[in-house]
Each structure stands twice: as C-alpha cells, then as structure tokens.
Chains A and B, each alone.
Chain A
C-alpha cells in the first residue's frame, strides 16, 4: 500500500508542477540555510582528540600579575612562560609532554628552482607527534637531545614535502630555513585536526603548520612567537633576547599525557611543589592556582563554538519554521484542489486515515526532494562562507555524510510538519459535497 501511495504522490507532484516546485523550493531554502549554519557549528564543535580525552591535559599555571587576574575563562593565562615550560619539561612524571608555539621560516632549497617562500612552523618538543597521534609517512621525530641543544632537524608535513621535494622520500635531505641548512628526519602524512585543539590561541580553524622544528633552537635563531604573546611585568625585564626568554611573557602552549588518576595526582603534586618553590623565589605572587584540562574541557573553556554561532543556529531554525508555515499554505492549496478526487476515493472505500496517510506521504515526497535540493543550497552556502572567512574556517567548511543525512531528515520532518494540517483537512472534508456534480 505504501508503494501505491508513493506512486500516487509522484503522480500528484507531476500534475501540479508549479505548486510542487514552490513547495520544494520553500523546503530547500529553509533546510539549506539551516544546514549551512548547523554544519559549521557541528564541525566547529567536533573534538579531534576525543579518543584521547581521558589521558591528555592542557597545562595552565597562574603566573600572572599579583594585582589583577588574567581575563581568561578560568582566570589563568592560556599559555606558559618560557622559563616555566623549560622547568616542566624536566619532570619525568608524564608519559609524554609537549612545549610548543607557532613561528615561521623562509624556506629555500639549494640547487633547485624552488622559489623561496615563507612557511608557518611549530617549534615543539619531540613528543608532539606521539602525543597528538600524528601519522608518519617516512621517518619519525627527532631524538631528545635536539630539544636541549641546538640541532638543525625538521619534520615536514606531506604538503610541504610535495612542494619542496616533489613528494619523494626526503629523509636525510637538506632544506634551508632562514638561510641555515636543516636535515629532514621525518615526513608526516595528511593531518589537519579541526578545530586545532593543540593550539587554540591562533585561529582554531586554520590549517596546521607547514614545518616542525625542535624546541632547542630558540637562542640560535632568536625565535620569538608568531602567536599570541602577552605579559604584565614590563619592569623587571633584563636586556635583549635572553631578557625575553626570562620574562613573565606567556607564549608557550603546554600539554601532558597522563595514563591514569595516580599519575595525574603525582603530576599535580609536582606542579604544586614547583609553584611553591617559585613563590619562595618571589614569582607566582597570586594564590596558588593551576589547571589541567582535557581536550573537551579545553575546547569549552576556549569557547571555540561561540555564542553567536549558537544564536545563528536558532535563527536559521526559526527561518526554517517560516518556510514550514509557508509550506502549510501551499500544501493546503494543493490538496484542496484535489478534494474531488479525495471524495471519489472515500466513496470507493478509502477511510479517513487512508487519505491522511496518502497525503502525508505526498508531503514526505516533497520533503525528500526538498532535502536533496537543500543539500545543494547548503553546499553553496558553506562554500560562500568559506570564501568570506578567507582561510579561517577551511578545515571545517565541508559537509560529511552524517550532515547530508541530517539534511534529509530535517527536510522530512519539516515537510511532515507542514503537511500534517492539510492532510488532516483533506481527510476530514465531507466527501458527499464533492460528488454531486463535476
């Protein structure tokens, strides 16, 4: 019987093409707009580190101004000072730990036609790749000595390797960064988490960096940061680059991997002791405070999905509701035009519920077609917002299968909602009045 109803629905769509097209358009526009916003929100609220959510922690220490709390969500600076990062790296409690920040180099290659270009880089300790599950194509990370002393090695993402070495295995080859030769020790496969949980201080939806170099290079290259760098204590700074490294400026992101509760407790004890020790030296004048946040908490604290995105989500659903209300009027017109046929069907033995289901299925057919058209609208909408955002949301501005299914589901729901009253009306009109004459 369902198949009969579906064939009737398709026949009816063909026999009232204009009303049907208007109805499909209403659903498509409503669903398309809603799915554009919902897709961006959904992609932005994903957690690329979900599978390690119970072992990874972002570390924050409150080294801030004694007179004024930092203005982050938990009143602790997002990042650490260089000296604190170096001190924490000396602990052997965590299974893995990473100190890092964003920087950039001019890239060249000797004896090649490659035009020099500027690339973003992540200056990081060696555990980065294992801690964030970065897949290697060739080689691996550098050895731990490179994070202490100055060793000119580099790990290349696939895209950079393709650009500089035309995709060949570049292990052991040399690449020139800021005029100095670096040896390639590893090439990583395509990897682009969105949001970029590991560093939310720079645009969380931008692409991952194009180079990875060891944490032991700071003094040699006088590396500062291409990211956020904020300080409060301008007075006590000594001169020059060394002064910057020893200052209270916060610019290093810090993550640890802790296997279980016991290890976490040990690490907390260690942090407490460290801060108390620093207090004795005159630093850390604020009440003792630090935080270890799981990736999911970290995303929430950093408000990666902003409130206006949420509001926009609701607005787009309200817009869909307007489209549904339009749909009610269109369907009512469409169905009542066929009231004589409904009267005949009643006379021939159709019950009210049979007519109700027949017309609901007709609405649903419109919904499915509208949903497919809505996906097209949403794809255009997402592409447009991607252009407008100029690279800031590239990693999230795409639609996966789940969202396409959701679009169809939403369209189906909207069309059933729109069709409910018209279907009820048509199934409850008195058939006798349509049978008298034609």
Chain B
C-alpha cells in the first residue's frame, strides 16, 4: 500500500536547515492499522504530510499503491489525494461557515460526482458516524467529539483506501477518544488502511502495529506489547 525508501525532508529558513526526516524507510501493508508514536518534533506530522501528498519530499522514493509519486505534478497529486487518501486532524479542521452536509460535500465536489451520488454518499457516512439528524448544523454547534466524527465522515465519504490521522483524539476527553478510536477500528475492519499518529500509549497499543519515530527516523519495529515503557517516557 505505502512504501517509503530513504525519504529525506528538510526545511530551510534563513539561517538554519532542519532535517525533519532522514533515511526514512517504511512499508505499510494493505488493510493494516499502524500507530505512530515518538517525541514532539520528531517528524511524525511531516511523515503524514508526505504520505498524504500534501508536501513533496526533498529526496527519496515513495510508492503509493505501487505507483511512484515522487515526480507527479500538483494536479496529479491532488487527484490521488482526493481519490485514495482521507485526512483526519487533531484540530478537526471543519470549514466553520459550511454546515456538516456541505463540509462532507467538499471532497466529493473535487471528485466530480453528480448531485445524486454526492447526496447518497453524504447520507451514508452521516449515518455511519451517527449524526444524520445534525446535517444542517454548523460545526460550532457540535461537541469536539461530534466534530471529529464529522471530520472522519468527510474523510470516508470518498471511500479512500488509506486514512491518515494526526493525533485524532488529542483534543478529546478519554470517553470521546474511545468512541473515535472505536469508529476507526470499525472502519479498518471494513478494509481501510489506517496510519494514526498518537501520544496516547493505550490507543497506540490497540493498533496492529506500532512504529516509533525518533529524530526523523523509524527507530524500532518491535511488536507493540514490548515497547510500552518507551512510549510512556
């Protein structure tokens, strides 16, 4: 599904050059649920952005679904992003002046579906996240957990093969975090590959596999059960 080889990403500001990722190699198989942990500033978000084609890497090879995406232009990358990838963010990132229906509509518009198809899909995902009754509400009228469920619905509406979540429970209390986690697990059971960055060791442990990023590199590939000390450190 996803295969990165010797990816490097550096940010240049006037004075310093930061190497957010170096010699970064990783493979994620179809249908996996992978959790990503690591200290703050280690490059987790940078990895997700590159994996999700939001940013190009400075160097290295990235195969998505077997296709080398390193040299695609913006239009092609945007198209792939729209079709194959769903994003979930810590801050939900719903568009504040669009109601829930129109928020979920956004990726479907760029996909070019007709009105009937869009409505069908929106109603389906709204039902999946249990918020059908709220379709015409604005994001601000929902709780944080509900907002995140809408964000997940928006990510799922285009039926992506690959879901990228950056601390999806970071802004939620433990009860709502568990609900969101259960939703993600449910989605994964239906075949969507998930990569989730989290700081929560309990959630990380619930994934099939955990990888740790330290200082821009994949540090350790031990099974989840053996690394609980490292995560909580």
Contacts and interface: CB of A to CB of B under 8 A. Distances in A.
Contacts of A432: 45, 49, 54-55
Contact of A349 (B49, B82, B95, B166): B82
A340 interface: yes
Contacts of B203: none
A135 B90 CA distance: 79
Given A345-B106, A353-B75, A431 B54 contact: yes
Interface in B91-131: 91-95, 97-98, 106-107, 109-112
B74 interface: yes
Interface centre among B45, B78, B92, B112 (most CB of A within 10 A): B78
Given A341-B95, A435-B93, A438-B91, A348 B54 contact: no
A435 B95 CA distance: 12
Interface in B126-158: 154, 158
B43 interface: no
Nearest to B73: A351
Contacts of A437: 90-91
A18 interface: no
Q: How large is the interface on B (under 10, 10 to 19, 20 to 34, 35 or more residues)?
A: 20 to 34
A350 interface: yes
B110 A348 contact: yes
Interface string B163-175: 0001000000000
A343 B78 CA distance: 12
Contact of B79 (A4, A351, A352, A436): A351
A144 B95 CA distance: 83
B109 A1 contact: yes
Given A348-B107, A432-B49, A438 B93 contact: yes
B97 A346 contact: no
B11 to A, nearest CB: 10
B87 interface: yes
Given A354-B110, A432-B49, A436-B45, A349 B75 contact: no
Nearest to A4: B109
A346 B54 contact: yes
Contacts of B83: 349
A431 B87 CA distance: 13
Nearest to A427: B74
A348 B55 CA distance: 13
Contacts, number: 74
A147 B168 CA distance: 99
A345 B107 CA distance: 8
B91 A350 contact: no
B33 to A, nearest CB: 21
B3 interface: no
Nearest to A340: B93
B38 interface: no
Contact of B78 (A340, A341, A344, A354): A354
Contacts of A4: 109
Interface in A327-386: 340-341, 343-354
Contact of B82 (A341, A348, A436): A348
Interface string A19-39: 000000000000000000000
A325 B92 CA distance: 36
A220 interface: no
A234 interface: no
A70 B213 CA distance: 95
Contacts of B95: 341, 344-345
A404 B135 CA distance: 43
Interface string B41-64: 000010001001011000000000
Contacts of B81: 347-349
Nearest to B97: A15
A349 B54 contact: no
B89 interface: yes
Interface centre among A344, A346, A350 (most CB of B within 10 A): A344
A438 B95 CA distance: 11
A333 to B, nearest CB: 17
**6 shortest A-B CB distances, which residue pairs?**
A349-B82, A438-B91, A351-B78, A348-B107, A349-B110, A347-B87
Interface of A: 1, 4, 11, 15, 340-341, 343-354, 430-432, 435-438
15 contacts: A11-B97, A15-B97, A340-B93, A344-B94, A344-B95, A344-B106, A345-B95, A348-B87, A352-B75, A435-B89, A435-B91, A435-B93, A435-B166, A436-B91, A437-B90
